[in-house]
Amino acid sequence: MRRSLFGRTWPNVIAVVLFVFFIFPVYWMVATSFKQDRDIISKTPVFLPLDGTLDHFTTAVNAPNFWTYVLNSVTVTVGAVLLSLAIATLASFAIARMKFRGRKTFVLIIMVAQMAPWEVMTIAVYMISRDNDMLNSLLPLTLFYMMMVLPFTIWTLRGFIAAVPKELEESAMVDGCTRTQAFVKVIFPLLAPGLMSTSLFGFITAWNEFPLVLILNKEEGKTLPLWLSSFKTAFGNDWGATMAASTMFAIPVLILFIFLQRKAVGGLTDGAVKG
């Protein structure tokens, strides 16, 4: 009985310890965003800001070009996600359903592209943007972010399409649907978990990207990750405003994850093992 109780207890203890370990930095970020300046720089850690303030959030929102950066981030992130989903849906259908020469090679290229570090393309993207007069533009960012998430999106959706029985598609075609109509009416509705999981992955990747926008875009073309690095004073970093800005920056991802949680997590596992 004692061994059985120990066997049930220690996994829960480890899970709690890991949860606290990973959640503490997030808690510290949020707590610091509400602290008074004296508590932030105090040598004695203040874990609970009882006399909290919203001044740091006010400073962050009133920072120069804040709403411009918000609009830029939303534009490039949503654009990259929608483009990757549109292209990946068609490409994954072709890989999963059609037989053509070079199919296995194409799948291998997708896997290699997923594993390769995207930083190797930074110089090429900069030169292409410079030569085509697209520096300080959102278009190169959107296209590059789309390329970053496209291999993962294709690979995941391929698993979902391969898991759909061909008989469903063939039955729809027997009933008078074209292949395109069968895809739209039969297969596409079944891809919802995969679309949600890949959308979440693409959103987080594009939302958090920092180096490329730092290289390509100037002040009016920057996004929120660069905004986070702008809170400095004559005495150094304004940590209160930085933590408040970081908290606000994380909120859209948190809301999206909560909204898509169940289907997104299931989509990641199902798409990885099927097909």
Residue 62 has pLDDT above 80, yes or no: yes
Q: What is the pLDDT of residues 146-200, one digit of tens each?
A: 998 998 899 888 888 888 888 888 888 888 888 888 888 888 888 888 888 888 8
pLDDT of residue 4: 60
pLDDT of residue 142: 92
Residue 65 has pLDDT above 90, yes or no: no
In residues, how long is the chain?
Answer: 275
Residues 91-103: what's their mean pLDDT?
A: 84
Average pLDDT, the chain: 83
Q: Where are the alpha helices (DSSP H) in 116-210?
A: 122-131, 138-163, 166-174, 179-182, 192-208
Separation between Cα atoms, residue 62 and residue 60, nearest integer Å: 5
pLDDT of residue 274: 45
Separation between Cα atoms, residue 175 and residue 37, nearest integer Å: 70
- For the entire predicted model, the pTM comes to 0.82
Enclosing H/E stretch for 232: strand 232-233
Helical pair 239-273 and 2-34, crossing angle rounded to 10 deg: 140
